[in-house]
Amino acid sequence: MPELPEVEVTRRGVAPYLDGQTVTGVVMRRSGLRWPFPVGLESTLVGQTIRRTGRRGKYLLIEFDHGTLLIHLGMSGHLRVLPLDVAPGKHDHFDLLVGAKLVRMTDPRRFGAVLWHALADGAVGEHLLLRGLGCEPLEDGFTALHLHRATRKRSASVKQVLMAGDIVVGVGNIYASESLFTARINPKTAAQRISLARYELLVAAIRATLAAAIEQGGSTLRDFIAVNGQSGYFQQNYFTYDRAGLPCRVCGSEIRQIKQGQRSTFYCVNCQR
């Protein structure tokens, strides 16, 4: 599944082609993806100018004067910027036409979403899918003190708390494992047992890990590719994720794999005590 770095890479890729442009067409090749496409979306968007392209967690936000188009890439989706005459493939479900280009959403497993939030319904942050999200990990509000205070009554493992999304958003499975390794924190440790000093290390690790992943174009797992069709290469630098049975890059101990909340966790038993 595309995580925050992959979505941010996508946002940066499409923004130069969308920001300030007028929508000239909308093409929907099925009734919807995870949820139905908004009724009347073509008439809502055609002729309207895109003010900016943002992101909230794993949601892309294409902002207009009268509302916001929300796009989620789901489990296997990606966006591409293409010439208008490129024929769609089997899994190409949605096109947004702007000038001489189109932004095309490809989603083989159809767990993605294209939704509309009208300004008349309030700020986009109040959308049902956004209003419960935690703070952004790359913004100033994400601090060790914030994490420490928010986890005093959390008996769940720190890995699961990071991924829950209500305290901090967008730290998915890959980057939670990698960040916990960098901070030398065992992923099984109860969140409420971690000290403020160790959360200082974890916040720094999360920021550095996400920033490095974005710089390297994200991770390419299964179907994710960037807007320009290139693959990310952060996966070449994983310390723990998907390295079960291999030696730790730091101490040489074997990387172990466990299940937490039905997701795989990878960690070094020596480095992460």
Residue 2 appears among annotated catalytic residues: yes
DSSP 8-class letter at 212: H
* Three-state secondary-structure class, residue 78: strand
Residue 101 appears among annotated catalytic residues: no
Written as six digits, the tokens of 74 are 């789901």
How far apart CA 253 and CA 251 sit, in angstroms, is: 6
Residue 74 contacts residue 111 (beta carbons within 8 Å): yes
CA–CA distances in Å: residue 251 to residues 38, 205, 209, 268, 272: 52, 19, 20, 9, 11
Q: In sequence order, what are the residues at sequence separation of 6 or more whose Cβ sits closer than 8 angstroms to the Cβ of residue 261?
A: 160, 163
Residue 3 appears among annotated catalytic residues: yes
Given 11, 55, 56, 58, the catalytic residue: 58
Q: In sequence order, what are the residues at sequence separation of 6 or more whose Cβ sits closer than 8 angstroms to the Cβ of residue 125?
A: 56, 131
Residue 161 contacts residue 251 (beta carbons within 8 Å): no
Given 3, 6, 8, 178, the catalytic residue: 3
Residue 21 contacts residue 99 (beta carbons within 8 Å): yes
Give Cα 212 to chain centroid, integer Å. 14
Given 2, 5, 38, 108, the catalytic residue: 2
Residue 5 appears among annotated catalytic residues: no
* Active site positions, annotated: 2-3, 58, 263
